[in-house]
Amino acid sequence: MTLPTAAPRTAPAAAGPHPRRWFALALLLTAEAMNLLDSTIVQVAAPVMHARLGGPVADIQWFSAAYTLPFAVLLVTGGRLGDIAGRRRIFRIGVAAFLLASLCCALAPSAGLLIAARAVQGGAAALVIPQTFGLIKAMFDGGELSRALGTIGPVMGLAAVCGPVLGGVLTHADLFGSSWRAVFLVNLPLGAAVLAGSSLLREDRAGHRPRLDLVGTALLVLGSVLLVAPLIEVDAVAGVVPWLAVGAGVAVLLLFGLHQRGKSRRGRSPLVETSLFANRGFPAALATSTLFFAVMNGLMLVVVVQVQLTRHAGVLTAGLTLLPWSCGMAAASLCAGTWLVPRHGARVMFAGLAVLAGGVGGAAADYAAGPAGAGSWLLWAALAVSGAGIGLFTVPFFTTALHRVRPQENGSAAGLLNAVQQFGGTIGVALLGTVFLRVGAADGAWTACCVAVGLLAATALTARLMTAPEAS
């Protein structure tokens, strides 16, 4: 689930006709769902893309990572552009760029061009997603605002769980011979409808316009690429070069942190609000989000690719394999939000991690048994348990992560959580995907599950730091 970034409003809510405003809300939710859907919809179709387009096997990971990496590192900058130039204007530009990039993806004749178009898609998504919250606040007020904001979570959760299944269905349907290209073509009518109705949106921008931090953005992009790319391309470059690149990426990200602190001390506009790091709770939340979504996204890729490459199942079977995962996640999220979290609070997070670890262990046991049928009862049950663990964790996590954040920092905190969620997913695709592809066959999936359990143990430690009382 992705949080909206908060933004100040410069005008009171529009007083237009009620149905007009709710239709505009539907357009905003469609745009958000379309952008977030593309984070996961490609994972099921990726082996088919690779089979049709050729290229190194690492391209299977790049088809996902090329989207989520620019999405993550440009998200905060995209929100700031909306503050400066107007959120409706940047929203329109982002949707138009996303549409064009989707068309380029669908028409791509080679894996390299597809990966490049996916990167543009991710950058466009970083323009669209941060604008939604401010645009909703410009249209609604009072009780209607609460109801409008309350629709974001379910729609985004539905997009997250439906992505892999929809990717399998569209690829298998092979409409007009489109095969995997249909997962991008589906964006065209949706995006066109959003653009056509965008005139219903009220223009909105920040009263105080911050400046862009171009140096900070460049350092963040460079450090992130240096960190992620070697994890995917570890087989393509011999020796210690990939690990030197990872070290360089860490060094650049540390330099980014120093640059942000320096800008904050000089009273300028840093890309990241450094006051958020005054207590250990929020940095621990960022680490928790990175680790958790690395497990979630990485495992999704491993499950659907293993079913196709090792068990030789079709793309539809691969997509439907994640159906228990999606159902478990939806049911547990509803249960957690309605009953468990109001009664037990942040403790539900740790229950979710334990349930997820149990589900991953069950999947590992299935993989250890060898490449049997593509839908063994043990794997389906393990995925349902894993989905339930994810649902139990995510509902209390975001509330807990923002609990100690001051009201004026809510927007920056939510934007940063969004960014590290996408970045964590990218790391997971790179790390767990590489483990699976390097080891190969069922052993690779079993090994990836073991790594995931280790990451979940680390997640439990950082989550404990989130909830620990601050020293007085």
- Which sequence spans correspond to the domains of the chain? 1-7+14-201, 214-270, 278-466
More confident residue, 110 or 440: 110
CA 301 to chain centre: 13
How many residues make up the chain in this entry?
472
Residues 6+ apart with CB under 8 A from 328: 383, 384, 385, 386, 387, 388, 389, 390, 391
pLDDT computed for residue 330 by the predictor: 84
Q: What is the pTM of this model?
A: 0.86
- Say if CB 202 and CB 139 are below 8 A apart: yes
- Say if CB 28 and CB 7 are below 8 A apart: no
Question: Smallest Cα–Cα separation from 401: which of 294, 279, 304?
Answer: 279
Note the pLDDT tens digit of each residue in 332-352.
888 888 899 889 988 999 999
pLDDT computed for residue 128 by the predictor: 92
pLDDT computed for residue 242 by the predictor: 80
175 to 108, 149, 169, 178: CA distances (angstroms): 17, 36, 10, 5
- Number of Cβ within 10 Å of residue 386's Cβ equals 31
pLDDT computed for residue 16 by the predictor: 44
pLDDT computed for residue 375 by the predictor: 55
Residue with tokens 């056509």: 196
The span from the CA of 390 to the CA of 356, in Å, is 6
> How much of the chain, in percent, has pLDDT values that exceed 90?
41
Residues 6+ apart with CB under 8 A from 57: 50, 437
Residue type, 58: A
The span from the CA of 40 to the CA of 303, in Å, is 13
The span from the CA of 10 to the CA of 69, in Å, is 32
* Terminal-residue alpha carbon distance, the chain: 33
Residue with tokens 């048994």: 369
The span from the CA of 207 to the CA of 86, in Å, is 11
The span from the CA of 51 to the CA of 28, in Å, is 35
> At the fourth CATH level, which superfamily is domain 278-466?
MFS general substrate transporter like domains (1.20.1250.20)
- Say if CB 37 and CB 161 are below 8 A apart: no
Helix H or strand E segment including 209: none
The span from the CA of 281 to the CA of 466, in Å, is 4
Average pLDDT on 293-312 reads 89
pLDDT computed for residue 6 by the predictor: 43
Note the pLDDT tens digit of each residue in 5-53.
444 444 444 444 467 888 888 999 999 889 888 888 898 899 999 999 9
Note the pLDDT tens digit of each residue in 183-218.
999 999 999 999 999 888 888 776 677 788 899 999
Alpha-helical regions (H) of 129-186: 131-139, 142-150, 152-173, 182-185
- Say if CB 85 and CB 133 are below 8 A apart: no
> At the fourth CATH level, which superfamily is domain 1-7+14-201?
MFS general substrate transporter like domains (1.20.1250.20)
Q: Quick one: pLDDT band at residue 371, thresholds 50, 70, 90?
A: low
Average pLDDT on 53-80 reads 91
More confident residue, 286 or 20: 286
Note the pLDDT tens digit of each residue in 171-189.
988 888 889 999 999 999 9
DSSP class of 11: S
Which structure tokens are listed for 385?
Answer: 């348990």
Question: Smallest Cα–Cα separation from 253: which of 225, 282, 231?
Answer: 225
pLDDT computed for residue 429 by the predictor: 92
Residue with tokens 């529009």: 14
User: Is pLDDT above 60 for 458?
Assistant: yes
Residue with tokens 């539900």: 348
Note the pLDDT tens digit of each residue in 395-418.
888 878 877 777 666 667 777 888
Which structure tokens are listed for 356?
Answer: 């997820």
Average pLDDT on 76-90 reads 88
The span from the CA of 315 to the CA of 337, in Å, is 33
Average pLDDT on 221-244 reads 82
- Which of 104-108, 126-130, 134-138 comes out lowest in average pLDDT? 134-138
Helix H or strand E segment including 268: none
User: Is pLDDT above 70 for 133?
Assistant: yes
DSSP class of 392: H
Average pLDDT, the chain: 85
DSSP class of 393: H
